[in-house]
């Protein structure tokens, strides 16, 4: 299916998500074919063309989207992405993934996603603010604290959430901080949001290490050193006792069997633009990093980095997917046949949306939690989610990704069915 002016050269993310759902289909005998068909498609999508006055006085038109996939378990939830190549196809696919992600962790949410085709790196703060407010105004009838709760995603941040919230509240005329999550602390943001994705991933990986027999001191390589990858470097060492022997970013990678000093890596990144310039170690490419002989591999950068081409050469025992979609469906099969355990994105990187859920609870109750409570609740929810997926994996002898989909689709199908199809 081709949607919304999708560029021809781009792989359809939506088609990949449907493919993944089809892999889980045989393990969902209680879901009727017509119900399964219902679950594939977003319920509604909004396509917008936003007119924004640029600094040079000219008006520019930006394509923007919001997709609502399924709300059987609760309001739609999912980030807003700013990226030059974002399409309706991407946003639809990502909204489907959000439904499964929320269901895997047991959050009372459905799946949504938004995006604006723009390049924020080429825009001034003023232009970004006007674009963000134009988006928030256009979606103001399409979001709500009990309807759809957006959050940051690629290239969006707490400042943008502040503009979104301010626009929404001015349109409505009342305060409703829970409609957007990932806000600055002063507007009701939560403690623990910054490292939530990596921390949640660490809890899941800790449980996986127990059942798959990987001990403290095991080796690890991390691809990507942005928000998620840099906190993963810190927390996979601190919480799991792993020895991280390789890291990378878009500028390349570095290998050192004795590991790295975290603060020094950040300093090198800040001063030179890439961790590849870390002085103590050997330079390696991103491709080499993925194929290193390590116990645990952590893709924390971009999608589709492990494909049918390099999957046969992957040596890690466990892949902890912090990035979204780093392993293609074709590679999944090769890895499973080789006995490589892949902890799927919809489970492993769900810590971010889980702490967003905590933020939403805090906004709604007006009672703010200390950091320790955030950590404890996140640990409890991520551990339970891992154990639930692991049980399905054992029951059917299927890979962990398919198990996560079986669990999530099963829950959403049950909720959709018991509600009934109406009107």
Q: Is 172 a catalytic residue?
A: no
CA–CA distance, 136 with 130 (Å, rounded to integer): 10
CB of 229 to ligand NAD, least distance (A): 6
> Interface mask (CB under 6 A) for ligand NAD, residues 349-368, using x and -?
x--x----------------
Query: Contacting ligand NAD (CB under 6 A), which of 54, 137, 187, 302?
Result: 302
Contact between 344 and ligand NAD (CB under 6 A)? no
CA–CA distance, 291 with 255 (Å, rounded to integer): 12
> Using DSSP, how many helices (H) and how many strands (E) does the chain show?
14, 12
DSSP 8-state assignment for residue 177: G
244, 236 in Cβ contact below 8 A?
A: yes
Q: Please write down the HEC assignment for all residues of 305-327.
A: CECCCCHHHCCCCEEECCCCCCE
Q: How many CB atoms lie within 10 A of CB 399?
A: 20
CA–CA distance, 95 with 66 (Å, rounded to integer): 9
Give the full edge-to-edge strand order of the sheet including 148-152: 44-53, 59-70, 110-116, 76-82, 148-152
Contact between 301 and ligand NAD (CB under 6 A)? yes
Contact between 224 and ligand NAD (CB under 6 A)? yes
Residue with smaller CB distance to ligand NAD, 134 or 204: 204
Residue with smaller CB distance to ligand NAD, 167 or 349: 349
Contact between 266 and ligand NAD (CB under 6 A)? no
CB of 378 to ligand NAD, least distance (A): 13
Binding residues for ligand NAD restricted to 130-159, rule: CB under 6 A: 154
Residue with smaller CB distance to ligand NAD, 90 or 207: 90
- Is residue 258 packed enough to be buried (19+ CB in 10 Å), middle (13-18) or exposed (0-12)? exposed
CB of 297 to ligand NAD, least distance (A): 13
Q: How many CB atoms lie within 10 A of CB 394?
A: 11
Contact between 16 and ligand NAD (CB under 6 A)? no
CA nearest to 191, candidates 368, 14, 401:
368
Catalytic residue among 19, 58, 77, 113: 113
> Interface mask (CB under 6 A) for ligand NAD, residues 394-423, using x and -?
------------------------------
Binding site for ligand NAD (CB under 6 A): 154, 197, 223-229, 248-250, 286, 300-302, 322-324, 349, 352
Give catalytic residue positions: 113
């Amino acid at each position: 299916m081709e949607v919304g002016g999708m560029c021809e050269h781009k792989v359809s993310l939506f088609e990949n998500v449907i493919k993944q759902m089809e892999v889980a289909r045989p393990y969902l005998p209680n879901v009727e074919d017509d119900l399964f068909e219902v679950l594939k498609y977003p319920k509604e999508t909004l396509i917008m063309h936003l007119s924004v006055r640029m600094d040079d006085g000219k008006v520019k038109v930006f394509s923007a989207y919001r997709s609502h996939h399924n709300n059987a378990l609760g309001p739609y939830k999912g980030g807003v992405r700013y990226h030059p190549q974002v399409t309706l196809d991407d946003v639809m696919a990502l909204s489907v993934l959000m439904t499964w992600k929320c269901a895997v962790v047991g959050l009372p949410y459905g799946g949504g996603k938004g995006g604006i085709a723009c390049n924020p790196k080429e825009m001034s703060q003023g232009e970004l603010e006007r674009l963000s407010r134009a988006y928030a105004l256009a979606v103001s009838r399409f979001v709500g604290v009990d309807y759809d709760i957006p959050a940051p995603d690629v290239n969006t941040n707490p400042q943008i959430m502040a503009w979104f919230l301010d626009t929404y509240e001015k349109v409505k005329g009342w305060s409703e901080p829970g409609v957007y999550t990932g806000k600055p602390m002063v507007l009701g943001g939560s403690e623990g949001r910054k490292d939530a994705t990596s921390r949640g991933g660490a809890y899941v990986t800790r449980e996986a290490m127990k059942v798959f027999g990987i001990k403290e001191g095991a080796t690890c390589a991390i691809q990507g050193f942005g928000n998620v990858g840099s906190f993963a470097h810190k927390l996979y060492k601190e919480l799991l006792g792993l020895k991280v022997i390789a890291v990378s970013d878009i500028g390349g990678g570095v290998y050192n069997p004795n590991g790295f000093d975290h603060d020094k890596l950040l300093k090198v990144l800040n001063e030179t633009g890439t961790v590849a310039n870390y002085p103590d170690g050997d330079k390696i490419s991103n491709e080499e990093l993925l194929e290193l002989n390590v116990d645990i591999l952590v893709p924390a950068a971009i999608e589709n980095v492990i494909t049918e081409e390099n999957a046969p050469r992957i040596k890690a025992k466990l892949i902890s997917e912090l990035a979204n979609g780093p392993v293609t469906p074709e590679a999944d099969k090769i890895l499973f046949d080789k006995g490589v355990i892949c902890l799927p994105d919809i489970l492993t990187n769900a810590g971010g949306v889980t702490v967003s859920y905590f933020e939403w609870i805090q906004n709604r109750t007006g009672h703010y939690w200390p950091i320790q409570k955030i950590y404890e609740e996140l640990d409890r929810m991520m551990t339970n989610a891992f154990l639930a997926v692991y049980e399905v994996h054992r029951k059917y002898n299927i890979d962990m990704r398919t198990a996560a989909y079986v669990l999530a689709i099963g829950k959403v199908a049950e909720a959709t069915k018991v509600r009934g199809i109406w009107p």
